[in-house]
Structure 1
Amino acid sequence: MATYHVIGIMSGTSLDGVDLAYCRFTYKEDNWIYKILNTETLPYSNIWEQRLAGLAEVSAAELIATDRAYGRHLGELVRSFVDRHQLEVDFVSSHGHTVFHQPQRHITFQVGSGAYLAAAAALPTVCDFRTLDIALGGQGAPLVPIGDRLLFAEYDFCLNLGGISNISQEDPDHRVAFDISCCNMLLNPLAEQLGQPYDKDGLLARSGRFHQDLFDQLNEPAYFTAPFPKSIGKEWADEHSLRTIQESNASVQDKLHTACHHIGYQIAQSVRQHANQKSGKLLLTGGGAFNTFLVEQIWHYLGPDFEVVVPEPELVNFKEALIFAFLGVLRWRQEPNCLRSVTGAHHDNCGGAIYWN
């Protein structure tokens, strides 16, 4: 039996804050058992939110400076978290914040320097999980499916509704996973136009009306019918879904309503296209799982033969941070933490850099 106590750090594309999850992982009788022990979501200051949101446009020198400053910032958050809760930690496992993701050009970059994080936190740090897979010809994403396989095997499908919706499932011979569509990165900016950081319970979307033309335009990009492996970056989102929403003359409420239909429809299409069964049990996590109207659309387009499970709020909010902590454990053990069947790489691989403090 082996036990690890790890802090997982996640910052998603929706820029709603830094998720910290202090987790225990135990390997016993060929099975992994997890326990989430402490969690916090720390909102970004206006300065950090603006700085991260605009990074794709800055100079190379400013990008490097921000990478290191943000790594130090994460390390300080971790140090404070550890001291506040009096935690015993083996190491930190950090995803960083994605600025560029263009796997076809062999580009993926997450700010949050592991060296500066380790120095500020005074703890060993595992980071940079995507680069090796890109070097091996893969998409570098999604990374969560190995955690879905080893920690959530009781579900047929694991669906995350974050900035981007993505899904993973077990085929007879291997794990399959891919990004489905924009999700909160499409919905949150619309809610912000109405003075809200997000659409609480989907009430704004529920108050709108369905626009068939907008729905058809959102579903038009070839990405949705392309085979996997495939993944969505901010660049694709800006060029397609976000541009379509911006160019529409519909009211903000109608845009939210129609976008929820679009997301639910694409999720159902993905499940049906790649599922070997006509029914199944779906685990929903990520901030979008709290959007009641969106969840209703997923139910609607899937049909009654599928069970949609929204678990306890802690798992909804912190599943990605939990799994990045777990990816760090696998890297620590020098075991595969990235699946070729998911990313398209030449072989399964063990990605991540380790900084010893």
Structure 2
Amino acid sequence: MATNSKTYKVIGLMSGTSLDGLDIAYCHIKKNEDSWAFSILNIENVSYSEAFKNKLKNAVHLPTTDLLAFNNTYGDWLGTKVKNFIDKNSLEVDFISSHGHTVFHQPEIGLTYQIGSGQHIANTSNLKVICDFRTNDVALGGQGAPLVPIGDQLLFNEYDFCLNLGGISNISFDLNGQRIAYDISPANMLLNLICNSINLEYDDGGKLARTGKLIEELYNTLNGLSYYRASYPKSLGYEWFLNEVIPIIKTTKASAENLLYTSIHHITEQIANAIKKTRKEKSSLLITGGGANNIFLIEVLQQKLQNHTTVIIPNEHVIDYKEALIFAFMGVLRDRNEINCLQSVTGAKRDSSSGIIYYPH
């Protein structure tokens, strides 16, 4: 049984739906009596080549055997990148905790699949690996998402709301003594799709979006998507985006500037709605993820929230590496056999300690 005084030296890995590369965070995590403390000591973002990015994006269409093979080669790739990171920074590491890269997420049919074979990461890095955090929750009837709220609750509990702006926007908060969390809307996934159509990787600070105008019909169509009327627990995946959102964007004949401007107003409208309907009194909102660097998006969100909510943007290590940190933390909880998936968040039959542990051979 792990003692409370132990400092866990863990590498957290995160690859999100926005496909902006692999986030690696070397963290020290320690329990002090009843509370947890963390420090992010070393970080790195490993960019994906254009070919690799396309392979990850289109993995959903791969034949079964090709996908299973890619799961293994991606695991080797992750292990190699971590080994290089450890060697470069001369790190002492207890284990790696990896989210993997989501290919399928259809909890309504009991399916979630993240590639990045844990055994291959372990063998390549020669370290213990904890990964596959979603499958067990889905097997228990849950959404398998969002998973970050356990970290929000135990590491960032001084804020009323924690909002992450990655490929998808998601939020978590305490309500009547329970942690609640769900995916709100697409975020960078949508903005980057529009930017990619004009050969831009992303809209730096939202500068391009700022020059656009609202396309009212598109704005109303996006806000009218049925997902927004569903009650939580609920979660989004790339397949939903592919089927529900991309066709709307592709058939809208408008400039990238106007598409970006309208999309930002749509994203922020859904976020503001989620916050206002949950808490009537003034509250605090911590924003992390790549979208926190989109100055225009943050300004529009603040306008929609007016004086209802105080927005807090943390330091860049937390903005960009919070998810990698929390997956490191989820690995620590799994290593201690403590709860890391919350029934109140995912809708599963019970709380669980999820994740598969692999040892190098």
**What range is the shorter-chain TM-score in?**
over 0.9
Whether 1:186 and 2:157 are equivalent positions in the alignment is no
1:151 aligned to which of 144, 150, 155 = 155
Query: Using the alignment, how far apart are the partners of 1:58 and 1:211 within structure 2?
Result: 35
Aligned counterpart for 1:247 among listed residues 251, 262, 286: 251
For 2:318, the equivalent position in structure 1 comes to: 315
1:1-357 to structure 2, matched below 5 A, reads 1-275=5-279, 277-357=280-360
Q: Aligned pair count?
A: 356
SS of corresponding position for 1:295: helix
Q: In structure 2, how many angstroms separate the alpha carbons of the residues matched to 1:244 and 1:220?
A: 12
TM-score between both structures, scaled by the size of structure 2: 0.97
Quote how far apart the aligned CAs of 1:305 are. Answer: 2.4
TM-fit CA distance, 1:254? 0.2
Deviation at 1:35, TM superposition (A): 0.2
In the alignment, is the contact (CA less than 8 A) between 1:2 and 1:28 conserved in 2? no
- Partners of 2:210 and 2:224 in 1: how far apart? 24
State which drifts further: 189-198 or 328-337: 189-198
Alpha-carbon shift at residue 187 of structure 1 (Å):
0.2
The alignment's TM-score, normalised by the length of structure 1, stands at 0.98
Structure 2, unpaired ranges of 5+: none
State the shift of 1:193 in Å: 2.2
Aligned counterparts of 2:85 and 2:37: Cα–Cα separation in 1: 23
Q: For 2:317 and 2:201, locate their aligned partners in 1 and report how far apart those are by CA, in whole Å.
A: 20
**In the alignment, is the contact (CA less than 8 A) between 1:147 and 1:323 conserved in 2?**
yes
Percent of residue pairs identical = 49
Question: CA separation in 2, counterparts of 1:260 and 1:313?
Answer: 22
SS in 2 for 1:47: helix
Q: For each residue in 1:84-118, what CA deviation from the matched residue of structure 2 results, as whole angstroms up to 9, or x when unmatched?
A: 00000000000000000000010100000000000
Determine the C-alpha separation between the residues in 1 that align with 2:240 and 2:324. Answer: 24
The separation in 1 between residues aligned to 2:264 and 2:331, in whole angstroms, is: 34
Counterpart AA for 2:26 = Y
Q: Given residue 308 of structure 1, which amino acid in structure 2 is its aligned partner?
A: V
Hey, what's the Cα distance between the residues in 2 that align with 1:223 and 1:191?
24
* Distance in structure 1 (CA, Å) of the matches to 2:136 and 2:41: 30
Deviation, structure 1 residue 195: 2.6
In the alignment, structure 1 segments of 5+ residues that lack a partner are: none
The range that moved more, 302-311 or 252-261, is 302-311
Alpha-carbon RMSD: 0.8
1:165 offset after TM fit, Å?
A: 0.2
SS at match of 2:317: helix
